[in-house]
């Protein structure tokens, strides 16, 4: 059995050692010295830095295990190319200008070939030992949009160079390659390369909407000009002609848009992408599925009684233990559970739970608060593995909402006001920051962590539970949850300051929308729970939505949380004006006719309902339907009209997110 985590670390270390070895050998071949000095030492450190950064950014070492060979080759190629680009930029605008260009190119080329060779060897070994490697056929559909990426990249770069020469000849009557021109072109190619990466230019079109097809080229042109201005400003390069480079970008982008449009105009797109595909809607929310329900006997001969529960929990020294017993019994008495299928713990770790047989219990109770458990998801999953389908898990925690009152009850008021800010920082903030959480866990062992109600319920839902009852007793929140769903395969549950939220996008495909986090962690997994319990209010929002943080309300009021969506706009997932990208659950609340209208257009950053300012869910539906019908007739003028209306309502009528 191969430890993948350890093997990835070994691959990274071997990569660094090989990089250093190649560099020292090339240096010895050039200067008869292994150890670099002066500018070549600076070049070595610069190369080491950028090579490591982009290797990690492109996740090369992970790709050996979970990506097909062709995709791993592409990752190696791109990380090598971008590393070379940034090394060249560093050389061009620093005192390393005297280094050999051939030396740098040879160095990067050898490194790239060595990584490709190593990857092929590892792939061969894995196949020889029957270690499963992800089949590229499974990724064919996922990556079909990248089909022309390499094919169009090189002509794009070559044509950029030719346009640059042409503009020079028009301006000066001749073209002479010199230091000035080299600086100019490096700046130009860097801006062009960065804008290409950000906008996903050169991907094959997957839609018949030609506005969507040329949008990445327009965005890339704008970004290129912005990057050129940024480099001029930050590097203080006064001698170069910024006007000339802007002319090159304008001419090059115009030619590319015309050629691209003419080449693909009228071409048949893939059949699966020619229109709305209902299978996308059928697959929505398929990350978690219902488990098969267990058939239970009508009456258990050895069923658990309230007396048994009182005997198990009655000795616990807790003021409200009788209320806790009454709450639990009211929820489990109809289960008629066999005594042998019940386990009760008072533990802050999973060690005792791990000794149980898998799928052997109908009820597990832990009376120790979750605030003291270090790895909460791991603990929930350990309990999950021991429960039968439909089995119950009962636990408790002191929620953030009650933490201050709980703390205040344990000390004099004057001491409370002194301690509360430090308590919040240490027990709430420290466990969530990468730098400080290790310090927190070393000092406390994970005890007394401050957890919001939304986070705990969200983690339960993520791990396959559905909360069926919850109650505050004293300062403690008790929950009764049922093992009813499969475990979520979501890779990006919201936790950090910037979150990736899974949304329904163009043609019903899932897209990840970036936002500043305004809800407590894992809140997205309990949207269905809140809807079932509270429904919607008159404005179409969820009633009693306890998931939103205090700062989140402020961010939403002034649209601060939407800023990261500009990245989604750049890469083409969304457009500027359009209906909001909805979560899979909320999308399911829409009637089928509006669902079909929604997926025929990309979602947007600025939603049209700010133009109509609807006051109910039905009015939101009517507003969106009206927008789509108008857009079908006049796509460009409709978006422009709505943009003006939205700006007016936000600026002068105080339209805000609620």
Confidence of residue 210 (pLDDT cuts 50, 70, 90): low
Instruction: For residues 493 and 521, give the distance between their C-alpha atoms in angstroms, rounded to a whole number.
Output: 8
Q: Which of 86-95, 110-119, 235-244 has the lowest mean pLDDT?
A: 235-244
Confidence of residue 208 (pLDDT cuts 50, 70, 90): low
Nearest CA among 586, 578, 582 for reference residue 628: 578
DSSP codes of every residue in 70-129: HHHHHHHHHHHHHHHHHHHHHHHTSTTTTS-HHHHHHHHHHHHHHHHHHHHHHHHHHHHT
Angstrom CA distances, 330 to 79, 335, 338, stand at 59, 10, 17
CA atoms within a 13 Å half-sphere pointing along the CA-CB vector of 460: 29
Pairwise pLDDT comparison (656 vs 145), residue with the higher score: 656
Task: Give the model's pLDDT for residue 3.
Answer: 54
Strands (E), 386-443: 387-397
Nearest CA among 375, 381, 409 for reference residue 393: 381
Tell me what the mean pLDDT of segment 481-504 comes to.
Answer: 88
Percent of the chain predicted with pLDDT > 70: 85
Task: Give the model's pLDDT for residue 71.
Answer: 73
Q: Provide the sign of the torsion angle of the four alpha carbons 410, 411, 417, 418, taken in this order.
A: negative
Terminal Cα-to-Cα distance of the chain (whole angstroms) = 52
Confidence of residue 149 (pLDDT cuts 50, 70, 90): low
Task: Give exposure, 233-260, as e/b (b: 16+ Cβ within 10 Å).
Answer: eeeeeeebebebbbbbbebbbeebbeeb
Considering the chain, what is the average pLDDT of its residues? 83
DSSP letter (8 states) at residue 616: S
Task: Give the model's pLDDT for residue 130.
Answer: 61
Q: For tokens 């797109």, name the residue.
A: 269
Tens-place pLDDT, residues 18-53 = 899 999 999 999 999 888 988 899 999 999 999 988
Task: Give the model's pLDDT for residue 6.
Answer: 65
Q: Take residue 307 and report the two structure tokens written for it.
A: 């007396």
Task: Give the model's pLDDT for residue 201.
Answer: 82
Kindly report the backbone phi and psi dihedral angles of residue 479, in degrees, each rounded to the nearest multiple of 5, phi listed first. -135, 150
Q: Which residues pair with 501 in a beta bridge?
A: 513
Judge residue 288's burial from the number of C-beta atoms within 10 Å of its C-beta, 0-12 exposed, 13-18 middle, 19 or more buried. Answer: buried
Task: Give the model's pLDDT for residue 146.
Answer: 45
Tell me what the mean pLDDT of segment 272-288 comes to.
Answer: 48
* Close Cβ partners of 637 (under 8 Å, ≥ 6 residues apart): none
Task: Give exposure, 130-145, as e/b (b: 16+ Cβ within 10 Å).
Answer: eeebeeeeeeeeeeeb
Tell me what the mean pLDDT of segment 575-581 comes to.
Answer: 92
Task: Give the model's pLDDT for residue 60.
Answer: 73
Task: Give the model's pLDDT for residue 276.
Answer: 45
Percent of the chain predicted with pLDDT > 90: 33
Secondary element (H or E) of residue 466: strand 465-473
CATH 3.40.50 fits 306-483, yes or no: yes
Tell me what the mean pLDDT of segment 157-162 comes to.
Answer: 90
Judge residue 467's burial from the number of C-beta atoms within 10 Å of its C-beta, 0-12 exposed, 13-18 middle, 19 or more buried. Answer: middle
Task: Give the model's pLDDT for residue 250.
Answer: 92
CB 407 within 8 A of CB 427: no
Judge residue 494's burial from the number of C-beta atoms within 10 Å of its C-beta, 0-12 exposed, 13-18 middle, 19 or more buried. Answer: buried
Q: Take residue 225 and report the two structure tokens written for it.
A: 């000009």
Nearest CA among 316, 476, 488, 507 for reference residue 403: 476
pTM comes to: 0.70
Q: Which residues pair with 399 in a beta bridge?
A: 451
Task: Give the model's pLDDT for residue 238.
Answer: 56
Label each residue of 283-301 as H, E or C: CCCCCCCECCCCCCCCCCC
Tens-place pLDDT, residues 464-476 = 999 999 999 999 9
Kindly report the backbone phi and psi dihedral angles of residue 618, in degrees, each rounded to the nearest multiple of 5, phi listed first. -65, -40
Task: Give the model's pLDDT for residue 341.
Answer: 92
Kindly report the backbone phi and psi dihedral angles of residue 143, in degrees, each rounded to the nearest multiple of 5, phi listed first. -105, 15
Tell me what the mean pLDDT of segment 564-590 comes to.
Answer: 91
Q: For tokens 């529960």, name the residue.
A: 309
Task: Give the model's pLDDT for residue 127.
Answer: 66
Tell me what the mean pLDDT of segment 544-560 comes to.
Answer: 89
- Is a pLDDT exceeding 70 seen at residue 658? no
Tens-place pLDDT, residues 309-366 = 998 898 887 888 999 999 999 989 888 888 899 999 999 888 889 989 999 999 999 9
* Three-class DSSP category at 515: strand
598: Cα separation from own chain's centroid: 23
What is the tally of helices (H) and strands (E) in the chain? 27, 9
Q: Take residue 30 and report the two structure tokens written for it.
A: 């050039």
Domain boundaries, the chain: 1-137, 141-274, 306-483, 498-652
- Is a pLDDT exceeding 90 seen at residue 139? no
Other CB atoms within 10 A of residue 56 CB? 13
């Amino acid at each position: 059995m191969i430890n993948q985590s350890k093997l990835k670390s070994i691959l990274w270390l071997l990569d660094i050692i090989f990089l250093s070895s190649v560099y020292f050998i090339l240096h010895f071949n050039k200067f008869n010295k292994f150890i670099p000095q002066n500018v070549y030492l600076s070049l070595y450190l610069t190369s080491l830095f950028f090579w490591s950064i982009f290797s990690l950014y492109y996740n090369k070492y992970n790709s050996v295990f979970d990506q097909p060979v062709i995709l791993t080759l592409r990752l190696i190629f791109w990380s090598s190319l971008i590393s070379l680009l940034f090394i060249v930029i560093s050389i061009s605008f620093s005192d390393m200008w005297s280094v050999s260009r051939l030396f740098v190119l040879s160095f990067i080329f050898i490194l790239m070939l060595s990584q490709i060779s190593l990857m092929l060897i590892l792939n061969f070994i894995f196949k020889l030992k029957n270690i499963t490697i992800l089949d590229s056929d499974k990724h064919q559909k996922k990556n079909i949009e990248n089909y022309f990426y390499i094919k169009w990249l090189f002509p794009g770069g070559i044509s950029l160079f030719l346009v640059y020469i042409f503009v020079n000849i028009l301006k000066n009557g001749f073209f002479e390659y010199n230091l000035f021109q080299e600086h100019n072109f490096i700046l130009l190619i860097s801006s062009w390369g960065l804008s290409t990466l950000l906008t996903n230019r050169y991907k094959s079109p997957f839609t018949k909407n030609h506005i969507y097809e040329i949008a990445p080229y327009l965005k890339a042109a704008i970004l290129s000009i912005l990057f050129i201005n940024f480099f001029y400003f930050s590097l203080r390069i006064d001698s170069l002609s910024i006007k000339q480079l802007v002319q090159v970008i304008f001419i090059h982008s115009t030619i590319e848009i015309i050629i691209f449009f003419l080449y693909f105009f009228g071409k048949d797109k893939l059949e699966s992408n020619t229109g709305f595909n209902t299978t996308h809607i059928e697959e929505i929310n398929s990350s978690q599925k219902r488990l098969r329900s267990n058939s239970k006997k009508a009456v258990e001969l050895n069923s658990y009684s309230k007396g048994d529960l009182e005997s198990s929990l009655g000795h616990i020294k807790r003021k409200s233990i009788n209320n806790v017993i009454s709450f639990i019994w009211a929820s489990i008495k109809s289960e008629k559970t066999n005594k042998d299928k019940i386990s009760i713990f008072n533990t802050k770790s999973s060690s005792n739970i791990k000794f149980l047989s898998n799928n052997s219990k109908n009820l597990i109770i832990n009376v120790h608060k979750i605030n003291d458990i270090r790895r909460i998801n791991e603990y929930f999953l350990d309990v999950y593995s021991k429960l039968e389908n439909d089995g119950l898990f009962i636990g408790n925690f002191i929620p953030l909402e009650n933490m201050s009152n709980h703390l205040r009850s344990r000390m004099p008021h004057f001491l409370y006001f002194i301690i509360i800010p430090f308590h919040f920082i240490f027990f709430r903030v420290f466990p969530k920051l990468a730098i400080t959480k290790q310090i927190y866990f070393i000092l406390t062992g994970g005890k007394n962590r401050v957890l919001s109600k939304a986070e705990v319920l969200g983690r339960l839902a993520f791990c396959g539970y559905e909360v069926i009852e919850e109650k505050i007793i004293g300062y403690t929140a008790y929950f009764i949850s049922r093992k009813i769903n499969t475990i979520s395969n979501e890779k990006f549950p919201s936790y950090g300051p910037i979150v990736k939220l899974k949304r329904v996008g163009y043609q019903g495909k899932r897209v990840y929308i970036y936002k500043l986090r305004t809800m407590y962690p894992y809140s997205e997994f309990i949207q269905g729970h809140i809807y079932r319990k509270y429904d919607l209010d008159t404005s179409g929002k969820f009633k009693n939505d306890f998931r939103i943080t205090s700062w989140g309300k402020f961010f939403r009021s002034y649209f601060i949380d939407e800023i990261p969506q500009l990245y989604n706009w750049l890469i083409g997932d969304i457009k500027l004006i359009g209906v909001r990208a909805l979560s899979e659950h909320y999308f399911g609340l829409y009637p089928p006719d509006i669902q079909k209208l929604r997926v025929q257009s990309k979602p947007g950053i600025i939603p049209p309902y700010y133009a109509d300012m609807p006051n109910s869910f039905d009015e939101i539906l009517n507003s969106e339907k009206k927008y789509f019908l108008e857009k079908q007739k006049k796509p460009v003028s409709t978006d422009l009209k709505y943009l003006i209306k939205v700006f007016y309502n936000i600026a002068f009528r105080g339209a805000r997110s609620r």
